[in-house]
Structures are given as structure tokens and as C-alpha cells.
Amino acid sequence: MGPFEGVIFDCDGVLVNSEPIANQVLAEYLTREVGFAITAEESHRRFTGMVFFQIEDLLRTDHDLDLPKGWVDLHFEALYVRYREELKAIPGTIELIDALDSAGIPWGVASQSAPDYLAFVLDLIGIGERARGRIASSKDVPNPKPAPDVYLLACRKVGCDPVRTAVVEDSPTGARAGVAAGCTVFGYAGDRPEAELVEAGAVKALQEMSALRPILTGR
């Protein structure tokens, strides 16, 4: 599989432990304000890897539910409060990035999230400055994941050929995007069955971020 010219990380659930927090906040909002009862676990299963208009479309199509105007802004207001209190790097992530830097392997970030959000969370875990100039957002491309656009943009920013690039993803939607871009996808299965990521195209799914270090760096 290796050696790789570059490594592109998804952000939420791969670099930062945002998924449980975000899904709890989303579930609380949908249950309390919209009357759509859902747990954080169900929110994670159904919505992780989607952008907000995809969540809106799913709820409209499957449940005939239209979310109120401005709900995304309210969601982020509550989310940022929780992030300042609880957000952390996924265990082993900073060490893996340090190892990539030491090995001279460039890395970047490709996410469904907006640029200002990405700057905020990466700064919170202390790698915002290191990632600057190498962050691709779905807001910057025509189509979000599972389309390959955001991974192709990230590869251009990092300066690596997609076919010689490793992608680290935690959602089936993101894994499919990486595969569509021509990258080699590794699944981080910290909070979902490994089989879901393999079925979506990951060549391997691992429970610990530290297990990726020898695969990605050869050390």
C-alpha cells in the first residue's frame, strides 16, 4: 500500500472528538425544539458524514419534516460552548502528525465542515497553525462527500498525487469520497463497526490511531 506521498485526514471524528458532542447537541435540538425524538447514538448512525443540507433533505424525505430557518446558527452557538469545554484531539492523532512531519510526509485536512469551523477546532487542539494552507472544505468545492471533490482539492493543496495518497476517514460517506478520488482509504473505527468502513471501500479499519503510524510512515 505504501509508501505514500501524502496523508489527508478527515476532521470530525478523526482529528477531534467532536462527533459525540455534536450528535448530542443535534439530538437535543431536534428533540426539544422540533419535536423529532432522537438519541445521540441514532443521530451518529444516521447523520455522521453529512453536511447540513443533506440532513435537512433526509428529514424532509423520510419524515416530512422541515427544519426552521436559522436552525444551523442555533446549533453552532450551542456547539461552540460545548467544544470550548470538552473538545480534545483523538488519542494518538498529534503523535501521528508529529511522526509524519518527522518522516517528511506532508499532510492535510479534507472536511465537510466550513473553513471557519475547521480553523476553530484545529486551533483548540493546537494544530491550527500547522494545518494552515492545507485545509480543504466542502464549502470550497461544487459537491460534498461522497463526491471526491474535497479530497482532490486537499491533494492539490498538499501537493500529492491522489493515487499515492492515504486518506483517514471515520464515516462510510467519507470513505466513499476518498475512494472516488483515487486515494487509499484507511478507516478509523473508534466508534463504529470496522465492517461499515471496509464495506465503503477502506482497505483496512483500525480501532487505534496509533496503529496507523507504521502503515503511513513506514516506521
**DSSP for 12-67?**
BTTTBSHHHHHHHHHHHHIIIII-----HHHHHHHHTT--HHHHHHHHHHHH--PP
Task: Determine the pLDDT at residue 14.
Answer: 96
Whole-structure pTM value: 0.84
Domain boundaries, the chain: 6-17+88-217, 19-86
CA atoms of 96 and 104, how far apart (whole Å): 12
From the list 123, 124, 153, the residue with the least C-alpha distance to 137 is 153
Peptide bond into 148 cis (omega under 30): no
The pLDDT score that the predictor gives to residue 207 is 94
How high is the mean pLDDT in each 10-residue block of the chain (219 residues)? 89 93 92 91 86 90 91 90 95 96 97 94 97 96 97 98 97 96 96 92 96 91
Looking at the domain 6-17+88-217, which fold is it? Answer: Rossmann fold (3.40.50)
Nearest to 178 by CA among 190, 191, 166, 196: 166
What is the three-class DSSP state of 107? strand
Residue 83 to residues 41, 44, 125, 216, Cα–Cα distance (Å)? 18, 17, 11, 29
What is the pLDDT at residue 30?
Answer: 92
Supply the pLDDT for residue 52.
87
Second-level CATH architecture of 19-86: Orthogonal Bundle (1.10)
If DSSP codes are grouped into helix, strand and coil, which group holds residue 69? coil
Judge if 6-17+88-217 and 19-86 fold alike in CATH terms.
Answer: no
